[in-house]
Amino acid sequence: MLLILVRHAEPERLVDAPDGRADPGLTTRGGEQAVRLVDALDGVAIDALVTSSMRRAKDTAAPLAAARGVEPDVVDDLREYDADRDSYVPVSAMAAERPDDWERMRAGHLPAHVDAEAFTARAVAAVDGVVAAHPGHATAVVVAHAGVVNAYLSAALGIPVPLPFPLDYVGVTRVLCSRSGRRRVRTVNEVAHVADLLGDGPPAG
């Protein structure tokens, strides 16, 4: 089957979330990025649309869902490693505000507070669950997060760090998945459809 992994669009900054969990929606530019996903996947027959439970992923998938007339499946285990934090700092501000986390991410590692092994296992199992549910010649689109997509690519390619690739907002990654368990990564981080909307900030790990 063809697995299409999409990183969410640009989220709002959110500090000190009132319920203790920062789950921001998209910026105005993020909303424009999300709309571009519709044209980026034009001509692709989509058998399943799946999102993480976080608002930025669900909002990114919304224009595609509306265009295709489908209701996305929401999978909580596709949530990002920062899902339980009370603040969300956009990656463009991370170097200044969370320099230790930024340096770790640049080196391909998750922030120190994250249990990298547990997060990777959860993310890979969640994506593989989507693959298992849509065997054969099906195509599934999964809208999730840079950490989730990277964890899956790291496992598929045997890369020893969990964040091997810089991934942009609404970057598209395609993986061919066989019933035997073989994974062939065909593309990583396609961004032609949003190139003019990415701004000057560095991409996330």
Residue 161 forms part of a structural domain:
yes
What are the structure tokens assigned to 166, written together? 């810089």
- Specify the pairing of strand 73-75 against strand 48-52: parallel
Residue 205 forms part of a structural domain:
no
Task: Assign 51 to helix, strand or coil.
Answer: strand
DSSP for 187-205, please give it: EEEE-GGGGGGS-SSPPB-
Residue 204 forms part of a structural domain:
no
Residue 178 forms part of a structural domain:
yes
Residue 78's domain comprises 2-196
The share of the chain scoring above pLDDT 70, in percent, equals 97
- Specify the pairing of strand 139-144 against strand 48-52: parallel
- Label residue 202 by pLDDT band (50, 70, 90): very low
As a whole number of angstroms, the longest Cα–Cα distance in the chain is 46
- Label residue 200 by pLDDT band (50, 70, 90): low
The torsion of the CA quartet 159, 83, 35, 13, rounded to 10 degrees, works out to -110
Residue 61 forms part of a structural domain:
yes
**What whole-number distance in Å separates Cα of residue 114 and Cα of residue 178?**
31
Over 60: is that where the pLDDT of 203 sits? no
pLDDT tens digits along 115-126: 999 999 999 999
Over 90: is that where the pLDDT of 204 sits? no
Residue 62 forms part of a structural domain:
yes
CATH number of the structural domain spanning residue 110: 3.40.50.1240
Place of tokens 């964890």: 151
pLDDT tens digits along 77-101: 999 999 988 888 888 788 888 899 8
Residue 84: CB atoms within 10 A of its CB come to 11
Instruction: Identify the H or E element spanning 176.
Output: strand 172-177
Residue 9 forms part of a structural domain:
yes
Least confident of 27-36, 66-75, 125-134, 191-200: 191-200
Number of domains in the chain: 1
The share of the chain scoring above pLDDT 90, in percent, equals 81
Least confident of 2-11, 13-22, 39-48, 70-79: 13-22
Residue 185 forms part of a structural domain:
yes
